[in-house]
Copies of this chain bind each other. A is one copy, B any other.
């Protein structure tokens, strides 16, 4: 195989992991990153401090040989804990008893991945370098050093844009004819709040869970940090007369609102007033585009090609999975980089669109449905089916989170399952006792019929 010079714009988790894969395949890799080297500098948290990593992310990192270090600093969350306004708690497991998603520090995982890339002799990393120009046909990219102002143009055989939702590489691709693109914002924004740990480092609420305060058109969530604290995120409409960031325009209004809607959370937030006033209110965008590649020269990956909303916890996971599939395409395409990039994009675009859709839908589920009885019954039925047919029935959430089924297939099959579940739930008396022989016979028969039609 001929070795290529590959330039990666962006040393986030995705750019770094891709660098590892490409270095292992023997290519010469240069990675340029706009931000400072986070291993040496405290980076202001422009984005959320922690995130959820699940099986797709771990598998991609395992294939690149660095999953173990990451898992050591992650906190398993085995389910959702729902908080009602009255403070009642309900736990819903995410999957089987050993299945969990993992809360992890965004900078922590990124540092591990940067270290992983840095360990290769054939990888060079440059920080504080902002991409100011891209030439897709050479390909090359020009970076401006944020300290010296010096501009450096790097030519390469292949240029990869792993430079995030506002990708400079993608901006250049967008000027080409027939580049399909959409950026769509939710009417909701988010703001981070904080629940500190106890003085002894223990947790004020259940540690190994993702906490949700579902409140219809808005919600609060909390993910655990290693030090006993939780990072909370409030999702709420930007505009509106009552429950909106616009409406909560004073310390008093915000506090009164939380006292009414999130009283148990407010009790745990000593810095609420400051946090609400000073933390930024950020927006939530879904970005879709195609193509993701230009000839045998340029490819987009991660948020640069598909930014999604965070409600399925799959933003980083899908980007890391991009890297794994890119590596598979590399193995499959041999020396033909036109072919490699085509295999990669043909595999990923439909899957990226599917997880974008699933993530948008999961916002509705999290903020709204998780609190309602029909939804809880559906979860109960899914659990029953999964226990009756452990190899054959996998709930949508589990396909997305605990399997490597392509997202597009998970979306399609999940929609088909939804129809079947709805049909089952309409049977009078079904939930009186799911474990009677008659009910089990009914479920078996209905599922078998469905399965014949859908497999």
Residues of chain A at the chain B interface (Cβ within 8 Å): 174, 177-185, 238, 283
Q: Are B177 and A184 in contact (CB under 8 A)?
A: no
Distance of A132 from chain B, by nearest CB (Å): 15
Distance of A37 from chain B, by nearest CB (Å): 28
Q: Are A183 and B183 in contact (CB under 8 A)?
A: no
Across-interface contacts of A184 in B (CB, < 8 A): 180, 182
> Of B178, B181, B238, B283, which is within 8 A of A181 by CB?
B181
Distance of A236 from chain B, by nearest CB (Å): 14
Q: Are A178 and B182 in contact (CB under 8 A)?
A: no
Measured CB to CB, the nearest residue on chain B to A281 is B177
Across-interface contacts of A185 in B (CB, < 8 A): 177-180
Distance of A291 from chain B, by nearest CB (Å): 11
Within the assembled complex, what's the spacing in Å between the Cα atoms of A183 and B183?
9
Other than the given A181-B182, A181-B183, 8 more pairs (CB < 8 A) read A174-B183, A178-B185, A179-B185, A180-B184, A180-B185, A181-B181, A182-B182, A182-B184
Name, among A174, A179, A182, the residue most crowded by chain B CB atoms within 10 Å (CB to CB). A182
Within the assembled complex, what's the spacing in Å between the Cα atoms of A180 and B183?
6
13 contacts between A and B (CB under 8 A): A177-B185, A177-B283, A178-B185, A178-B283, A179-B183, A179-B185, A180-B184, A180-B185, A181-B182, A181-B183, A182-B182, A182-B183, A182-B184
Measured CB to CB, the nearest residue on chain B to A178 is B185
Within the assembled complex, what's the spacing in Å between the Cα atoms of A177 and B174?
18
Within the assembled complex, what's the spacing in Å between the Cα atoms of A185 and B178?
5
Measured CB to CB, the nearest residue on chain B to A174 is B183
Distance of A199 from chain B, by nearest CB (Å): 39
Within the assembled complex, what's the spacing in Å between the Cα atoms of A238 and B283?
37
Within the assembled complex, what's the spacing in Å between the Cα atoms of A181 and B178?
15
Measured CB to CB, the nearest residue on chain B to A282 is B177
6 closest A-B pairs by CB: A182-B182, A178-B185, A178-B283, A180-B184, A181-B183, A177-B283
Across-interface contacts of A283 in B (CB, < 8 A): 177-178
Within the assembled complex, what's the spacing in Å between the Cα atoms of A118 and B180?
38
Distance of A357 from chain B, by nearest CB (Å): 15
Measured CB to CB, the nearest residue on chain B to A180 is B184
Measured CB to CB, the nearest residue on chain B to A285 is B178
Within the assembled complex, what's the spacing in Å between the Cα atoms of A305 and B181?
15
Within the assembled complex, what's the spacing in Å between the Cα atoms of A185 and B289?
11
Across-interface contacts of A177 in B (CB, < 8 A): 185, 283
Within the assembled complex, what's the spacing in Å between the Cα atoms of A283 and B238?
37
Across-interface contacts of A182 in B (CB, < 8 A): 181-184
Measured CB to CB, the nearest residue on chain B to A238 is B178
Distance of A342 from chain B, by nearest CB (Å): 13
Distance of A94 from chain B, by nearest CB (Å): 32
Across-interface contacts of A178 in B (CB, < 8 A): 185, 238, 283
Distance of A360 from chain B, by nearest CB (Å): 14
Within the assembled complex, what's the spacing in Å between the Cα atoms of A120 and B312?
58
Within the assembled complex, what's the spacing in Å between the Cα atoms of A185 and B283?
27
Across-interface contacts of A174 in B (CB, < 8 A): 183
